[in-house]
Amino acid sequence: MIQKQIALLVLSTLISLLGISQKAPGYLGKRLSLGVNFQVSPALINPNNNRNTGFFKFNTQLGATIEYATNRHASILAHYQSYNTKKEYNDFQIIDLQNNYSGGTFYGDLKVTSFGFEYRTYSESIAPQGFYSGIGLSYKKIDLTQPIIFSIPSIINSPKDESPYSLLSLGFSMGKQRIYFNRLIISTGVNFMIPLELGKLELFEESGNIYAYKESGDIYKRVALHDLFNFKIGARLLLF
């Protein structure tokens, strides 16, 4: 009789604990985490911030992330990212007031800051731990500093700069998060960013006027390629 009572007590306790865990999202009851992230991608087409291109030359960006587990298998995140890179003016022909021509490759500086939100699902584990996939939106603010030579008054074909620029993108992510010491989250994965404002990229527009054209189309294409595909790693602390 005593053994049956003990067995019933153990069974009821397990059922009770299971019921509580089903109602409590997060890891050990902790839902909110805050930390930093680092992203990297090969500079295959356009130069990175060091004016280099190639498979073993990289674009990088730093940021911060906050994540909140909304239920056992989903969370919402807010991201802040910032990076610097270069815009290349390859074989640019400079024309002055006397119609003298001179050519060369010049570089402008791009500073990009972005703010984004993401909805993430954990299909095989409890948020924020395990494999995940996510979808979100990102708003980017882009500041351009043109090459110094473009500011010389006698240059008559400097591209028109309307900085700052802005771009809205749709993002997809996938990866895995691991939790160490019941507090530290290490996150690894990949990001894909697709511009939503395709008209800004001016993919099918050509400017026939070498004396008056805008920077905007080239700027948007440069940033879109930079953000198209990134590997990422992050570290966050579970707060409460």
| 83 in any annotated domain | yes
Domain count of the fold of the chain? 1
Beta strands, E only, 72-155 = 74-95, 101-121, 130-145
Instruction: Compute the distance between CA of residue 195 and CA of residue 217 in angstroms, rounded to an integer.
Output: 13
Instruction: Compute the distance between CA of residue 117 and CA of residue 121 in angstroms, rounded to an integer.
Output: 14
Does position 155 have pLDDT exceeding 60, yes or no?
yes
DSSP class per residue in 2-59: HHHHHHHHHHHHHHHHHHHHHH--SBTTB-EEEEEEEEEEEESSS--TTS--EEEEEE
| 81 in any annotated domain | yes
Prior bond of 42 cis (ω within 30°) = no
Instruction: Compute the distance between CA of residue 107 and CA of residue 92 in angstroms, rounded to an integer.
Output: 10
Mind listing the pLDDT tens digit for each residue in 59-71? 999 999 999 999 9
Task: Give me the phi and psi of 88, to 5 degrees please.
Answer: -95, 135
Instruction: Compute the distance between CA of residue 65 and CA of residue 231 in angstroms, rounded to an integer.
Output: 15
Residue 8's contacts (CB-CB under 8 Å, 6 or more residues apart) are: none
Global pTM reads 0.82
Instruction: Compute the distance between CA of residue 161 and CA of residue 125 in angstroms, rounded to an integer.
Output: 49
Neighbours of 211 (CB within 10 A): 9
Mind listing the pLDDT tens digit for each residue in 87-115? 999 888 888 887 777 778 999 999 999 99
Q: What kind and span of H or E run contains 222?
A: helix 216-227
| 6 in any annotated domain | no
CB 159 within 8 A of CB 151: no
Mean pLDDT of 43-50: 92
| 5 in any annotated domain | no
How much is the pLDDT for 201? 83
| 4 in any annotated domain | no
Residue 233's contacts (CB-CB under 8 Å, 6 or more residues apart) are: 37, 38, 186, 187, 188
Instruction: Compute the distance between CA of residue 135 and CA of residue 43 in angstroms, rounded to an integer.
Output: 24
Which of 175 and 2 is assigned the larger pLDDT?
175
Strands 101-121 and 165-180: unpaired
How much is the pLDDT for 15? 40
Does position 5 have pLDDT exceeding 60, yes or no?
no
| 157 in any annotated domain | yes
CATH number at residue 210: 2.40.160.20
Q: Which domain holds residue 87?
A: 26-238
| 31 in any annotated domain | yes
Percent of the chain with pLDDT over 90: 64
| 12 in any annotated domain | no
Biggest distance spanned by C-alpha atoms of the chain: 108
